[in-house]
Amino acid sequence: MPKVTTLGQFIIEKQADFPYAKGELSRLLRDIAIAAKIVNREVNKAGLMDILGQAGSTNIQGESQQKLDIFANEQFISALTSGGECCIVASEENEDIIIIDPKDRKAGKYVVAIDPLDGSSNIDVNVPVGTIFSIYRRKDFDTPPGLCDVLQKGTEQVAAGYIIYGSSTMLVYTTGRGVNGFTLDPSIGEFCLSHPGMRVPEDGTIYSINEGYYMHFPKGVKQYIKYCQEEDRATKRPYTSRYIGSMVADIHRNLIKGGIFIYPYTAATPSGKLRLVYECNPMAFIIEQAGGRATNGDKRILTIEVEELHQRTPVFIGSKNMVIHAEEFMKEAIELSFAYDENQGFPFAVD
């Protein structure tokens, strides 16, 4: 029988690769994995229990919350607040950060930003959904933890990952030394190393974008889509269009097979739609560590200044050469009716 390496064993073996190798990060990742197993159990029961459908409430984004959104949010917050390694939890589902012990200056050393259930509206139709997480180290240990510890650029992440709940459940993460994937073995209840040293192909033949908004896309994105659809045997076009509507699922596929995921700005959403802190920064860290590229169409995602907890951004992420090519289309098509934001690095609609 081949040797099976569990997530816990792997983290311990690789602990020396982490600059703050004292075990806290290992325990923090363990806490996230435990919560993921609980959420996975409920996802797999969807249809058998009253966990499907809308909860009748909205989150800070103004989006209708699914029952499973609330359940997943509660499970991850519970695991992270009781584990002892985390001083702040920032969730996409909550308006404000959760400071675990606001008076304790010696509170946990880490901050976790999390999207508890990405693509949750798909759960009703049995489409893969996921959890995205990002881990930062506290900036100042002489003062109580606060919002400034969360509003760090993506380059300051010490770890990031996602869990995809699909035909099998996988946890994929990086600590800045490559990307590794672990598949949950339900027979032993452990995440086991199944995809060591994951690398995204430099080129791909898949583009992922919600083409239902085509008429609202900037000119550069429209031109890139037309390029993807044109026939050219030398570049293996036309490319295949694949869009699931769950960022985790789309990027997971492209990470393995190669491809590009695009969620651009539009006139209605001039700052983009996806969240920088909870979705784009962690995914960008993972994809870059796997050899890919992640920008907002002009600027590297991980270098964008974080000014607000629920800040949004456009995103172009995936195979390196495909993202570069899409950026070229964007640069060539900047229209005079758009201005340029020096901080965010992308053109935005002006009245």
Return binding residues for substrate.
Answer: 118-121, 210, 243, 273
The radius of gyration of the chain's CA atoms, rounded to the nearest angstrom, is 20
Task: Measure CA 44 to chain center.
Answer: 22
How do 338-340 and 347-349 pair as beta strands?
Answer: antiparallel
Tokens of 91: 């969730």
Phi, psi of 259 (to 5 degrees): 160, 180
The binding site consists of: 92, 115, 117-121, 210, 243, 273, 279
Spell out the SS3 assignment of 199-216: CCCCCCCEEECCHHHHHH
Residue 9 forms beta bridges with which residues?
A: none
The residues near 46 (Cβ < 8 Å, ≥ 6 apart) are: 52, 68, 123, 124, 126
Q: Residue 134: what are its φ and ψ, rounded to 5°?
A: -140, 135
For residue 47 the two structure tokens come to 């249809």
Measured at the CA of 89, the angle between CA 87 and CA 94, to 5 degrees, comes to: 145
For residues 331, 337, 342, 344, the Cα torsion angle rounded to the nearest 10 degrees is -80
Burial letters 129-157, b for 16+ CB under 10 A, else e: bbbbbbbbbbeeeeebbbeebbbbebeeb
Q: Which residues are annotated as a binding site for Mg(2+)?
A: 92, 115, 117-118, 279
Phi, psi of 206 (to 5 degrees): -120, 130
Q: Are 289 and 199 in contact (CB under 8 A)?
A: no
